[in-house]
């Protein structure tokens, strides 16, 4: 699987964990383009990277459906049966910017050692595939009170004392809304092995964890999956929960990410020499089909804010981030704190401090992004 990393990923990827492989692009390259080139898209794995031969692969749809069926890739690519779907979608890991929470208080994260994600565990790609809804319809639809779909990945990993497949579930309502894709193409290329070849799920507006790679089975069930990734990980705990008192039932299952943003340039601790304005760059994103409506920057720790003009933000899209650039006015010399926050189209915004967002699972670091730079005017 290391050969796969070297072949498919950019040489400057930051390898956060070698096994399971987890990596993100360096700061300089996170927002170099509104659509992330495949070699720079972050990678989050719980186990190995399965190498699957397309001709030996098939996908089963079973459980509470009228007519359980198996499909080859050619079956799914048959346009007379399943209309082709093409969408630009931002995928964000709920661990994005976890490093800031770790810096404040260490917590559990989902895995040990916890992947210390910075601002790069987010990426945007144009996916080609079909709507999962159509495949469910092709199986005669759901029966017997089915309301959720379990999604099985081929990859396995150790949990406690046994080996299991990567497995989560998503609600049927999301599928019914045509917001769940089965994708075989990413940015005009065959889906890379490291991103789930031959077929992956892409759930629009949900955390990356629900977008199962190396998909081989979908099972219709009544209630959310009891598999550990769904029921015990990716939970949002309140701040009283820690190592000694955490119970999965006290956590909220994380589905949609709240609005968040990050400054990708300059970097914290950098000396910035300028003529009254500091050139800043970054991204802004909101889950659940909401989009960044306004991005604001502060050069004084969040006391006063400048709105980034709309033309400095990349195109609006229901399922995508917006990258931005802004010349931030600054007339002081010395250490300053630059802060970024976003307002989405529902006027949700970000908490101002990391502490306000801190949680034992170290997920959803959605606080306003703060960096300290030395300003020379």
Residues that bind Mo ion (CB under 5 A): 44, 93, 208-209
* Binding-site partner at residue 45 among Mo ion, ligand MTE, none, CB < 5 to 8 Å by type: ligand MTE
Q: Residue 167's beta-bridge partner residues?
A: 152
Q: What are the beta bridge partners of residue 189?
A: 186
The Cα 308–Cα 161 span in angstroms is 51
Residue 133: contacted member of ligand MTE, Mo ion, none (CB under 5 to 8 Å, by partner type): none
290 binds, options Mo ion, ligand MTE, none, Cβ within 5 to 8 A by partner type: none
Shortest Å distance, C-beta 207 to Mo ion: 6
Rounded Cα distance, 97 and 43, in Å: 14
- Partner touching 109 among Mo ion, ligand MTE, none, CB below 5 to 8 Å by kind: none
In the complex, the smallest distance separating the C-beta of residue 254 from ligand MTE, rounded to whole angstroms, is 10
Query: What whole-number distance in Å separates Cα of residue 337 and Cα of residue 352?
Result: 13
Compute the least distance from the CB of residue 77 to ligand MTE, in Å: 20
Q: Which residues contact 234 (CB under 8 A, 6 or more apart)?
A: 94, 110, 207, 209, 253, 254, 361, 363
- Could you list the residues that contact ligand MTE (CB under 6 A)? 41-46, 91, 93, 153, 155, 166, 195, 208-209, 211-214
User: Shortest distance, CB of residue 103 to ligand MTE, whole angstroms?
Assistant: 21
Give the separation between CA 119 and CA 340, rounded to whole angstroms.
13
Task: Report what 195 binds from Mo ion, ligand MTE, none; CB cut-off 5-8 Å by kind.
Answer: ligand MTE
Sole residue written with tokens 């099972």: 219
Give the nearest distance from C-beta 117 to Mo ion in angstroms.
Answer: 9
* Rounded distance between C-alpha atoms, residue 101 and residue 53, angstroms: 40
In whole angstroms, what is the distance from residue 103 CA to residue 116 CA?
A: 10
Rounded to the nearest whole angstrom, what is the least distance from the CB of residue 294 to Mo ion in the complex?
27
Nearer to Mo ion, 209 or 264 (CB): 209
Q: Which does 257 bind (CB under 5 to 8 A by kind): ligand MTE, Mo ion, none?
A: none
Residue placing its CB nearer to ligand MTE in the complex, 208 or 282: 208
Cα separations in angstroms, 284 against 91, 231, 316, 320, 350: 12, 29, 11, 9, 11
- Taking the least distance from each CB to ligand MTE, the nearer of 108 and 375 is 108
Give residue number: closest CB to Mo ion: 93
Q: 163 φ, ψ to 5°?
A: -100, 135
Q: Which is nearer to Mo ion, 220 or 362 (CB)?
A: 362
Euclidean distance between CA atoms 39 and 260, whole angstroms: 24
């Amino acid at each position: 699987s290391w050969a796969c990393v070297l072949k498919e990923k950019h040489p400057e990827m930051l390898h956060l964990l070698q096994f399971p492989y987890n990596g993100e692009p360096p700061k300089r390259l996170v927002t170099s383009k509104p659509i992330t080139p495949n070699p720079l898209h972050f990678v989050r794995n719980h186990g190995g990277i399965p190498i699957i031969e397309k001709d030996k692969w098939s996908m089963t749809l079973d459980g509470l459906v009228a007519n359980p069926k198996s499909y080859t890739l050619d079956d799914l690519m048959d346009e007379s049966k399943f209309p082709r779907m093409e969408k630009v979608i931002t995928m964000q890991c709920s661990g994005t910017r976890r490093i800031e929470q770790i810096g404040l208080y260490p917590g559990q994260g989902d895995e040990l050692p916890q992947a210390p994600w910075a601002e790069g565990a987010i990426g945007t790609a144009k996916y080609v595939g079909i709507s999962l809804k159509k495949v469910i319809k092709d199986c005669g639809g759901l029966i017997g009170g089915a309301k959720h779909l379990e999604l099985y990945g081929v990859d396995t990993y150790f949990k406690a004392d046994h080996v299991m497949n990567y497995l989560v579930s998503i609600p049927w309502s999301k599928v019914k809304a045509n917001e769940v894709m089965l994708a075989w193409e990413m940015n005009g290329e065959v889906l890379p092995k490291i991103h789930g070849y031959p077929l992956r799920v892409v759930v629009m507006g949900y955390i990356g964890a629900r977008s199962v790679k190396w998909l081989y089975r979908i099972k219709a069930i009544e209630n959310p999956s009891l598999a550990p990734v769904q029921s015990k990980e990716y939970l949002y705990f309140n701040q009283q929960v820690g190592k000694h008192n955490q119970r999965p039932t006290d956590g909220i299952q994380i589905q949609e990410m709240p609005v968040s943003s990050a400054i990708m340039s300059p970097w914290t601790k950098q000396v910035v020499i300028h003529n009254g304005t500091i050139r800043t760059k970054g991204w802004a994103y909101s889950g659940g089909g909401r989009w960044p409506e306004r991005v604001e920057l502060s050069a004084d720790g969040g006391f006063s804010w400048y709105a980034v003009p709309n033309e400095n933000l990349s195109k609006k899209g229901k399922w995508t981030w917006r990258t931005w650039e802004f010349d931030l006015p600054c007339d002081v010399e010395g250490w300053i704190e630059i802060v970024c926050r976003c307002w989405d189209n529902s006027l949700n915004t970000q908490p101002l401090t990391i502490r306000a967002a801190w949680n034992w699972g170290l997920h959803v670091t959605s606080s306003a992004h703060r960096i300290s730079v030395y300003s020379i005017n």
